[in-house]
Chain A
Amino acid sequence: MTAVLPDLAAAVRAALTTVVDPELDEPVTDLGFVRSISVTGDVVEVHLRLPTSFCAPNFAWLMVSDAHDAVSAVPGVARVVVELDDHHDSDLINRGMAAGVGYRGTFGHEAEDSLDELRAIFARKAHTAAMERAVTPLLRTDPAVDVAALTVGDLPAGERTTAALLRRRAALGLPVDDGAPVLLHPDGTRPAPAEAPLVLRRARSVRISVDGNAHFCRGLLRTRYPGSGTDQTPRPEDRPLIPLTVSKGSHP
């Protein structure tokens, strides 16, 4: 059976690309958070690592449990061990995962609810940031663009930012047809025209937060684990880390 092992390892890695850091809206594989994958027969052991010992435990739990689910679903995998290394809650999380007691079972009284709401908050933020990335280039090309009136059909079809926005809309069940408005409140409703500037400004601050956290977390991981930069994949082009590269005009 040894001949199939490389394939199984590759399949496990492919499965892990679906595991996303909710805050950074990037796969853990791109971020360099996957420390190791080892396959012994049909048993898979995955180790994850994070930029600091003090990364929020609820986010850590989300990524560890998502990784467990993703790898468990790979055909040919019989048993999965996912461990989080070097975190202040490593022991707690690893024990909780091994015992299959879930987030609440692991953190006890401190975890009153499930993490579904947390996940939903960050899915909406990811969409909001994608919305700003899709709109701002248009505004820079033509400051007179009527942002409030923009529809999906007005977005440049070949652009990665457009595709990224549509993927996130689809994931949230938001309309993706050409006539659908681009600018949306976090709850999916369309803002009144007078609200449009503020909605876009809020979206910009969300996008800056997401980008900034990605800068910091990627950098901290490289500081913490020398050489881990080679495990990181540059950010997808639909989410450039140094944004706003179109130079139009200057300050007075």
Chain B
Amino acid sequence: MYRKDGEDYFIVDAHIALWDARPENQRNIHGKQFIDCFYDYHRNLSPEPEVWSYEEYLYQGGERLMRDMFADGVVDHAIFQPARLAEFYHRGFGQTEEAFALAQAHPDKLTYNHYWDPRDGENGLDELRRNAERMQLKGVKLYTADWHGESRGWKLTDPMAYRYLEVCREVGIRNIHVHKGPTIRPLDRDAFDVADVDHVATDFTDLTFVVEHCGLPRLEDFCWIATQEPNVVAGLAVAIPFIHTRPRYFAQIMGELLYWIGEDRILFSSDYALWTPQWLVEKFVDFQIPEDMAEYAPLSTEVKKKVLGLNAAKLYDLPVPEHLRLPDAPETATGPRQPDAADLATV
């Protein structure tokens, strides 16, 4: 829990990883390039005192993770969202068993989400069923840009992906986290296209699709889809660190998200170990839309509480102390959420 100015915030970090990008796990040059890319994100967007050394960045381990997440009591619960990246790393990037064991040791603090890949075919369907039971999965992380043999990506609308989504529905996996953001897929059309989310959100209305990185670099495409599909949610991973280097840009991202999808469908995510959650939480609680951005309403304490934890707690049935709970906003299920707050209200 985080406390500031007499207000208590229940904090859920909806996207963390326990990765291993050390040289001995790198399968090829892409494994090095991938973690170097992450490290550049980290160096580019972090406040100076929060910048880690490269060696620290390659691998953290469970003990360090527990300290960074919980030792100072800031994060109440965190959710693993592992990426496989088996073509880049010998034992994969996200450390499945290590993270799962950590989550089992701290069930009150950690939830383990696993991944699947439709290119694993029928065998993967069976494995998903087994994993769902063994790991008690409530969610999965999908990385459509992952390489797999000759393929360098897939779409949620691929027929086999539908089979996997049907299994999710069958075994009670409700939260489908989809990485949409800087990708590595040389698609014929557009490597960042979020249109496939639109399709599956319509076809699987009983599942929740959390779009990680809220569609960046195509915020507008994401907003347009999410505003029409009540089961699409924005994850703030990689977007929230702009709060430090580019606060006005971050204000615009928040303003747009609140306008298009509303306060009940935005999730705080540090994307640990890209960034540690503590400074992000502190800055977010202190953050306000600049006064001269009159096209956006100010961020209320309630909105901050929902984004920082209550929204994710609801998706994952996490127990929230009674005095910290808040009711859902009286917003429409689809369409823009804050028409009165916009500067065009009078147009």
Where the two chains meet, the residues of A that have a C-beta atom closer than 8 Å to any C-beta of B are: 23, 51-59, 61, 88-89, 107, 109-113, 117-118, 121, 139-140, 143-148, 196-198, 200-202, 204-206, 208-209, 211-213, 215-216, 219-220, 222-224, 242-251
* Alpha-carbon distance A248/B30, docked complex (angstroms): 49
Known A-B contacts A53-B37, A197-B342, A212-B217; the reply to A118 vs B336 at CB < 8 A is no
For B44, the chain A residues whose CB sits under 8 A away are 216, 219-220, 222-223
Please give me the residue from chain A that is nearest to B39 by CB atom: A223
Report the minimal beta-carbon distance from B33 to chain A, rounded to whole angstroms: 4
Q: A201-B342, A248-B292 are in contact. Are A208 and B252 (CB under 8 A)?
A: yes
Q: A205-B260, A219-B44 are in contact. Are A213 and B347 (CB under 8 A)?
A: no
| Minimum C-beta distance from B147 to chain A (A) | 10
A143 touches B346 (CB 8 A): yes
* CB pair A208 B346 closer than 8 Å: no
A residues less than 8 Å from B191 (CB atoms)? 56-59
Interface majority SS (helix, strand, loop, mixed), chain B: loop
Report the bound CA distance from A117 to B187 in whole Å: 12
Q: How many A-B residue pairs have CB under 8 A?
A: 156
Chain A residues within 8 Å of B346, by CB: 143-144
> If A58-B187, A58-B191, A212-B249 touch, does A220 touch B347 (CB 8 Å cutoff)?
no
Task: Say which residue of B184, B298, B343 sits within 8 Å of A88 (CB atoms).
Answer: B184
Q: Is the CB of B245 within 8 A of A219?
A: yes
| Distance of B181 from chain A, by nearest CB (Å) | 10
Query: Do B293 and A54 touch across chains, with their CB atoms under 8 A apart?
Result: no
Given contacts A118-B189, A212-B249, contact A88 B182 (CB under 8 A): no
Chain B positions near chain A (C-beta within 8 angstroms):
29-30, 33-34, 36-37, 40-41, 43-45, 150-153, 182-192, 216-220, 223-224, 242, 245-246, 248-249, 252-253, 256, 259-260, 289, 291-295, 297-298, 336, 339, 342-347
Min Cβ gap A180→B in Å is: 19
Interface of A is mostly: helix
- A208 near B292 (CB under 8 angstroms)? no
CB pair B289–A53 under 8 Å, yes or no, is no
**Does the CB pair A208–B336 fall under 8 Å?**
no
Closest-CB distance, A178 to chain B (whole angstroms): 22
Do residues A110 and B187 form an inter-chain contact, with CB atoms below 8 A? Answer: yes
Minimum CB distance partner of A104 in chain B: B188
Q: Are A139 and B187 touching (Cβ within 8 A)? A: no
Measured in the bound complex, the distance between the Cα atoms of B252 and A110 in whole Å is 35
* CB-based contact B294/A56 at 8 Å: no
CB of B220 within 8 A of CB of A208, answer yes
Residue ID in chain B nearest A59 by CB atoms: B191
What CA separation (Å) do A247 and B248 show in the bound complex? 13
Q: Which residues from chain A contact B30 at a C-beta distance below 8 Å? A: 53, 88
